[in-house]
Amino acid sequence: MQILDGKKVSEDIKNEIAAEVQKMKDNGEKVPHLAAVIVGNDGASLTYVGSKVKACERVGFESTLVKMPSTTSETELLKKIKELNENDDIDGFIVQLPLPKQIDTQQIINAIDPSKDVDGFHPENFGKMALDMSTFIPATPFGILELLERYNVQTNGKHTVVIGRSHIVGRPMSILMGRNHFPGNSTVTLTHSHTKNINQITTQADIIITALGVPNYLKAEMVKDDVVVIDVGITRVADETSEKGYKIVGDVDFENVSKKASFITPVPGGVGPMTIAMLLKNTLLAREQKRMKK
């Protein structure tokens, strides 16, 4: 069994990006600039956005953090997005989800300029991804592809089972794993809460990608020997022995499933760190695309 170490690979990617940025600085060129918009005071979102800002500093990007109160109206947020769309200094930006109830999330995503949509959620970018055209791939699926590629995990002709059908992970992964190049070329089964006899499907899988958000959902008896397991789930579970009072748990019963797996991602330290690294990579790509248009 080999651990797919997202922490290590994300550091490698950041080092590669930092080297690119240093070249830009040496040539007197503008460095990439990533902005993040956060509405409200959700603890997990604040932590996540904070780590994005730190990651920007680490690789030499410029970064802007736009904080808006939880009472912000949809009109006010749309106005802010228009400003960011029109600000030529900003190469890419994200709007941190989830948004407060008074705001229509899809309206906000639709308002982002596709050329600055480094989260890859805009319908134009999602459509391009589905058609296998060059575009921004959502950061978490992009990170999973990168892990599979860097560890040379064979996907060609394999049966991939995706658990969960969210627009952020499940659905994009089901498309990407079936595309006509590596990583891809696998036969994909997309499962979800209405799938019957899921155990029968998962026990046939060569690769399982689970993004359900149910702690320890995937048990050892649900997988076959030498399976590849990608665990996207992140759930806080109360733990009195921990200083924080909780621990982070994935969708996979890691202790038991890892005994049967050929490759597996840990939680934490697997897919999570890759998400931020790939967001930086998308921002670098946005900056390059903008430069080529000039």
Q: Among residues 80, 96, 251, 281, which one is catalytic?
A: 96
Residue range 13-62, pLDDT digits in tens: 999 999 999 999 999 999 999 999 999 988 778 888 888 889 999 999 99
Q: Which of 64, 66, 65, 54 is nearest to 14 (CA)?
A: 54
Q: Among residues 52, 80, 116, 281, which one is catalytic?
A: 52
The CATH number for 139-272, chosen from 3.40.640.10, 3.40.47.10, 3.40.50.150, 3.40.50.720, is 3.40.50.720
| pLDDT band of 241, cuts 50, 70, 90 | confident
Contacts of 225 (CB under 8 A, 6+ apart): 260
Pairwise CA distance, residues 214 & 32, whole Å? 37
Domain 28-113 fold is Rossmann fold (3.40.50)
Pairwise CA distance, residues 123 & 74, whole Å? 19
pLDDT at position 294: 67
On the question of a common fold for 28-113 and 139-272, the answer reads: yes
Q: Domain segments of the chain: what residues?
A: 28-113, 139-272
Asked if 288 and 118 count as a contact pair (C-beta separation under 8 A), the reply is no
pLDDT at position 228: 98
pLDDT at position 139: 95
Residue range 144-185, pLDDT digits in tens: 999 999 999 999 999 999 999 999 999 999 999 999 999 999
96 is an active site residue: yes
253 is an active site residue: no
5 is an active site residue: no
Q: Among residues 91, 119, 206, 251, which one is catalytic?
A: 119
- Global pTM reads 0.94
